Amino acid sequence: MSKDAVIAKAKLHYSEQEVALLDRAITTASSAHQGQFRRSGDAYITHPLAVASILIDWSMDIDSIVAGVMHDTVEDTSLQIEDLEREFGKNIAFLVEGVTKVGQARSGMKDLKNYLPQTKDNLSKLLIAVAKDVRVVIIKIADRLHNLQTLEHMPAEKQKKIARESLEVFAPMADRLGMGGPRMQIEELAFRYVNPKEFEKSKNLMKKRLGKSTRKLGKIRQDVEKRLKNENIPYSMDGRVKSIYSLWRKLQRFDGNIDDIYDLMALRIIVDNQADCYRTLGILHSMYKPMLERIKDYIAVPKTNGYQSLHTTVLTPSKQIVEFQIRSKSMHEYAEGGLAASFHYHEQKSTANYAKRQSEKLPSQLQWITQLQEIASKLRDGEEISSEQLNIDLFGRRMFIYSPKG
């Protein structure tokens, strides 16, 4: 990734003044990292540039992009936080300091149960950093994603350590932030290093199954598209393929029998608004027989990470089982980008806004962030925190139970 490529991408989304700030940050970071190289042999600056590019793809605000460029300068160069504050302002300096703290806190991290009492100090740093500004973690996730993309240059032992940490910490963290796209990328990249044999086995199973499923889904897709057009519902439709890591996890639950997994490939229907989501669901159920136990209304009851969508699995006249996901455009944007989608290019806010939870885009479903703030406050005041109080499922996944009536 080059400076010219990042600047060219930034010009598509940011103001002239913001691009000038980014340009200045890249010049500063390039000078600070002069003479440093990655394991691949590339100049070190290619990494922060790649992180900045990822953050632009995620629609982050300019402060986050600049912090992405500068994120390793305090830890790996002679620059200090005071230098960044003087050159780029308090907000960017705060974000870089937060990313540095998260990097220090993650050492030896596996799950919350193993934190106390040995790693309380590290946990404190992490919680306080997250609670003050969630953008800190989003930048760190982008950092980890690029490191995974270039992991082949690391020694085998280091590869496995980084990959395992990515699965146990960064993928669940992205999930908690509703960042479905980045979570899937992290899982896919990490799984091949953590368990290469199972990765290849699951990949081959999926390849064989997808060939059959794709052909069968073609006719169903045509029928549904025809009906939606007749009902005058504007839509777009594509196929959603389960990630290899997600498939492997499900295979563990079904004794390796891929025939028992119905959502390997789903048809995703994106409509204009919430009302059309429910209209589309009704149309599908009039065309095919719904499997009642597999109807999930995440619009009425969103997941705790803010995810919203309607899921239904139907049985076609040819006895084929097909899963559909139905969501509005805004729901789809959030499902892919999660909380990062709340920090759009044109919605520049200061760290103070995020610290006070004043961003109107912050989903109310993300109650765990409020819990983090409360815990961080107690830690700053020197209060003791028990393992029970830390049971907020930050790194795990919650289970959602639905009755046939929803």
CATH of the domain at 130: 1.10.3210.10
176 with 299, same domain? no
Tell me the average pLDDT across 232-249: 90
What is the sign of the dihedral through the CA atoms of 72, 76, 82 and 86? negative
Q: Are 173 and 395 in contact (CB under 8 A)?
A: yes
Tell me the average pLDDT across 69-76: 95
Q: Which two tokens stand for residue 231?
A: 């009902």
Tell me the average pLDDT across 118-130: 55
Task: With a cut of 70, say whether residue 111 has pLDDT above it.
Answer: no
Strand 296-297 relative to strand 310-315: parallel, antiparallel, unpaired? antiparallel
Q: Is residue 344 part of a domain?
A: no
Portion of the chain with pLDDT greater than 70, in percent: 76
Q: Which two tokens stand for residue 225?
A: 């598209």
Of 64-78, 164-178, 209-223, the range with the lowest mean pLDDT is 209-223
pLDDT at 178: 83
Tell me the average pLDDT across 35-61: 95
- Structure confidence by residue, pLDDT tens digits, 340-389: 766 655 444 444 444 444 344 445 555 556 566 566 666 556 666 555 55
- Structure confidence by residue, pLDDT tens digits, 214-226: 777 888 999 999 9
151 with 223, same domain? no
Phi-psi region of 61 (alpha: psi -120 to 50; beta: other; left: phi over 0): beta
Residue 223 β-bridge partners: none
Residue 267 β-bridge partners: 239, 324
> Is this structure's pTM higher than 0.75?
yes
For residue 89, what are the domain limits? 3-194
Portion of the chain with pLDDT greater than 90, in percent: 53
Burial of 23 from C-beta contacts in 10 A (0-12 / 13-18 / 19+): middle
Confidence of residue 261 (pLDDT cuts 50, 70, 90): confident
Task: With a cut of 80, say whether residue 230 has pLDDT above it.
Answer: yes
Q: What is d(CA 310, CA 362) in angstroms, rounded to the nearest whole number? A: 21
Q: How far is CA 182 from CA 254, 261, 359, in A?
A: 26, 23, 22
Phi/psi of residue 43, each to 5°?
-60, 140
Q: Show Cβ contacts of residue 108 under 8 Å, excluding neighbours closer than 6 positions.
A: 119, 122
Point out the residues that are catalytic.
Answer: 75-76
Q: Is residue 47 part of a domain?
A: yes
**What CATH number is attached to the domain comprising 216?**
3.30.460.10
Q: Mean pLDDT for the chain?
A: 82
Domain tally, the chain: 2
Confidence of residue 336 (pLDDT cuts 50, 70, 90): confident
Indicate the Cα dihedral angle 46, 47, 53, 59, nearest 10°. -160
